[in-house]
Amino acid sequence: MKNLVPILAAVLLGAAACSSSGGGDSGGPVELVMWHGQEDSAAKSLEKLVGAFNRSHPGIRVKMDSGGATADTMLPKVTAGFAADTYPDIAYMYGSWGAALARSPKVPDLKKYVGGPKTGWNDFWPNARQTATVHGKVIGFPAVVDDLTVLYNKKLLAKAGLEPPSPDWTWEEFRSMARRLTDAGSKTYGTTWAVSGGEETTWSLWPLLWQHGGSILSADGRKAAFNSPQGVQALTLVQQMAVQDKSVYLDSTPAEKGQKLFESGRLGLFLSGPWVLSDVKAAGIDYGIAQLPGTNGDHQTVSGPDNWAVFDHGDRRVKAAVEFLTWLTQPEQQLVWMMGTGSLPTRQSVTRLPGYQDFVRRYPGIGVVTDNLANAKQIRPVTAKYPRVSGLVADAIAAVLLGRSDPKSALDDAARKSDALLAVPGQ
């Protein structure tokens, strides 16, 4: 991700301000193309919903397409589409790309469309609205909300003589449990941490930083702040677990092997979220979910909402895209999506639907994850440079956990590089 941001910015800012009128502007049904980037159960659930919309809205026809990309690779796909004028009307885009997208003339401001009661904009969770709104410009609709929690293997905890985590557990308790759950002979690990150099690596550190009173950037966003004493303290705890306790499986993939370890019954504590629940459930693991450990009673967690971004192919298609996304994100449709994927509700009112309790029963522990949204903090500072800053921090974390550096030196080095990057004019 981090290497693609300069390319995206160049294409977005260099693109001609005019937009393609495309098909559907000459009368008849408005045809929309949506690149979803979803796989497996998520793709099937979305296909079901799009089919229902097309049958009930004859004036709009939504063509659902993977875009030839996964969610992870949607950025270069859309970037290429901007350059070739083959971009879609709607695409699933990570929230971290929002600041760059907001600067593009290809991305319309939807603010005038989302104020009415039909849209129910204020029903979305605050952090989801924040991710879809960049410097006052609404770039799309919330697609997914999540937060980081801890999945635990009940069988492994019982075997180690451990009680399930309590609501007020601490990071020292997490460390102790991970140490007792580790068994080199059976290749069972207490927990895991990604060292792949991407957002998966920094994702888990930010809550520790915040709980100690630290921040990612300075208040004005112009300087790195993650190398503060609070940041060093946070990373030192993870280093102690990985290097001293050897209770951490260091995952060189984007958290894929760590998830497989949990699904195979060889990982006790898994820092993850609702996006893995359908797979964990299919694997037959008897699991529980706990909120993140806390520091002095502070259980702040990290949240990374994503968007259905809208792109400009003329007013008629933009309005049709808004109508479709308004329908797609209504509570009833959201519940269908959630039942198929284990995703959290993007709207607060979903929890008041009668069918929500069926969802909670289908995914044991999911109520804890939803309730945890109250502790969730938007992960990304509003700057197009955040993904590159995050990448620098991820490299620092990996160097520490692999024994190549110490927390202070690694974070200071990442901060120097980040400051040079942030000093360049622009968002």
Per-residue pLDDT, averaged over 6-22, amounts to 44
Overall average pLDDT of the 69-94 stretch = 90
Q: Which of 355, 312, 344, 332 is nearest to 143 (CA)?
A: 344
pLDDT single digits (tens) 274-327: 888 888 988 999 999 999 999 999 999 988 789 999 999 999 999 999 999 999
Write the CA distances from 120 to 75, 325, 337, 350, 352, integer angstroms. 28, 12, 18, 12, 15
Domains and CATH numbers, the chain: 5-145+304-378 (3.40.190.10), 149-303+381-422 (3.40.190.10)
223-234 pLDDT tens trace: 999 999 999 999
Q: Is the pLDDT of residue 16 over 70?
A: no
Judge whether residue 7 has pLDDT over 50.
no
Place of tokens 């693991």: 285
pLDDT category, 271, cuts 50, 70, 90? Answer: very high
Pick 10 or 320 by higher pLDDT. Answer: 320
Write the single-letter amino acid at 350.
V
Residue 26, pLDDT score:
56
Cα 369 → chain centroid: 14
Residue 426, pLDDT score? 66
Question: How far is residue 180's CA from residue 162's CA, in Å, rounded to a whole number?
Answer: 9
**What's the one-letter identity of residue 26?**
S
pLDDT tens per residue across span 251-264: 987 668 999 999 99
Q: Any residues with CB less than 8 A from the CB of 10 and at least 6 apart, and which?
A: none
- Please check the confidence at residue 6 and state whether its pLDDT lies above 60: no
Q: Give the model confidence (pLDDT) of 343-389 as tens digits.
A: 899 999 999 999 999 999 998 888 888 888 878 876 667 788 888 99
Nearest to 255 by CA among 198, 314, 185, 300: 198
pLDDT exceeds 80 at position 95: yes
More confident residue, 125 or 238: 238
Q: What was the pLDDT predicted at 2?
A: 40
Count of beta carbons in the 10 Å neighbourhood of residue 382? 17
135 has a pLDDT exceeding 60: yes
First to last CA, the chain: 17
Q: Answer yes or no: is pLDDT of 100 > 90.
A: no
**pLDDT score recorded for residue 370:** 85
Given this model, what pLDDT does residue 312 score?
97
What are the helix (H) ranges across 267-385? 277-282, 315-328, 331-341, 356-362, 366-371
172 burial type by CB count under 10 A (0-12 exposed, 13-18 middle, 19+ buried)? exposed
pLDDT in tens, 198-221: 788 998 999 999 999 999 999 888
| Residue 274 contacts residue 306 (beta carbons within 8 Å) | no
Quote the CA–CA distance of 155 and 265 in Å, as a whole number: 8
Neighbouring-strand partners of residue 247: none
What is the percentage of the chain residues whose pLDDT exceeds 90? 67
Burial environment of residue 255 by CB neighbours within 10 A (0 to 12, 13 to 18, 19 or more):
buried
